[in-house]
Amino acid sequence: MNLLEAEGLNTFYGDSHILFDVSMNIPEHEVVALLGRNGAGKSTLLKTLSGALKAQSGTIKFAGKQIERLPTHEIARLGLQLVPEERRVFGGITVHENLKLAAMTAEKPLDYSEIYRTFPRLDERRNNKGRALSGGEQQMVAIARAMIRDARLILLDEPFEGLAPLIVRDLMAVCQQLAEQGRTIVIVEQNVAAALSMASRCYLINTGHMVFEGTGQELQAKPELMSRYLGAAAA
Ligand SMILES: Nc1ncnc2c1ncn2[C@@H]1O[C@H](COP(=O)(O)OP(=O)(O)O)[C@@H](O)[C@H]1O
Ligand SMILES: [Mg+2]
């Protein structure tokens, strides 16, 4: 079953046409990778799906409901949560208070204990201010906020950017765990190998056009696509 179905999305920034008739299906309980070069439109697509940007045309169905006209907070309440590239952890309040804020506006927030079990590191740091956290810890808070709101679909925009390999490994394990718990994840990631190792399906976007949809294996069997749209390093 598809948790999300987007069809024919056209998104603009002012007069600039960025997404061209983009369609995407996200099966429930899976990890889906969204790949593409810098400037291809990945962040724009995630923002459009989460309602942060409104498409000029096209439809988005989430959990059986049309959401393309709903305000972001209602889309979030239905269980679709964007974790944007800029992590937006509040620096002046503690880890626990950051989680509390996220839980406040949720319909049925999860128990803090569940979050701290997933992120033992955040448990240790719960009374530390956001600004005292490392980049990896901030990313944990950003993901934990989506989790405490019991999001069914979590859109992760380059969650591993600038993080040390060990932290990336931990976060990848967390993403896998979230999927096993029945959540669905879309991940935008520059490291194609890492993304494909987590994802069952992937989409490839280029200059605002979806150019490939399939399994990671199917993509890897097409080195010409990989080098054309992702650069030689990915092939
Ligand atoms: N706020 C904005 N205003 C105008 N153009 C933008 C804005 N944000 C992104 N763009 C343009 O939209 C295109 C897609 O950007 P983006 O979705 O951020 O790509 P990606 O996330 O794949 O790197 C790029 O050409 C970028 O320059
Ligand atoms: Mg981006």
- H, E, C per residue of 124-188: HCCCCEHHHCCHHHHHHHHHHHHHHCCCCEEEEECCCCCCCHHHHHHHHHHHHHHHHCCCEEEEE
Does the CB atom of residue 53 touch ligand 1 within 6 A?
no
Pick the ligand that lies closest to the CA of residue 35.
1
Does the CB atom of residue 86 touch ligand 1 within 6 A?
no
- What is the structure's pLDDT at 235? 47
When divided into structural domains, the chain yields a total of 1
Ligand 1 atom nearest to 85, measured from its CA? 21
Ligand 1 atom nearest to 158, measured from its CA? 21
- Which of 18, 38, 48 to mutate to test ligand 1, by most ligand atoms within 8 A of the CB atom? 18
Does the CB atom of residue 216 touch ligand 1 within 6 A?
no
Does the CB atom of residue 13 touch ligand 1 within 6 A?
yes
Give residue 132 CA to ligand 1 midpoint distance, Å: 30
Q: Which domain holds residue 145?
A: 2-234
CATH code at position 49:
3.40.50.300
Does the CB atom of residue 18 touch ligand 1 within 6 A?
yes
Q: Give the residues across from 214 on adjacent strands.
A: 202
Pick the ligand that lies closest to the CA of residue 37.
1
Ligand 1 atom nearest to 44, measured from its CA? 17
pLDDT per 10-residue tile (average), the chain, 235 residues: 97 97 96 95 98 97 96 94 90 96 92 95 96 94 95 95 90 91 93 89 96 93 90 58
CA 8 to each of CA 19, 58, 155, 206, 212: distance values in angstroms, whole numbers, following the listed order: 9, 5, 19, 15, 15
- What is the structure's pLDDT at 234? 54
Asked whether the beta carbons of 219 and 211 are under 8 A apart, the reply is: no
Asked whether the beta carbons of 87 and 136 are under 8 A apart, the reply is: no
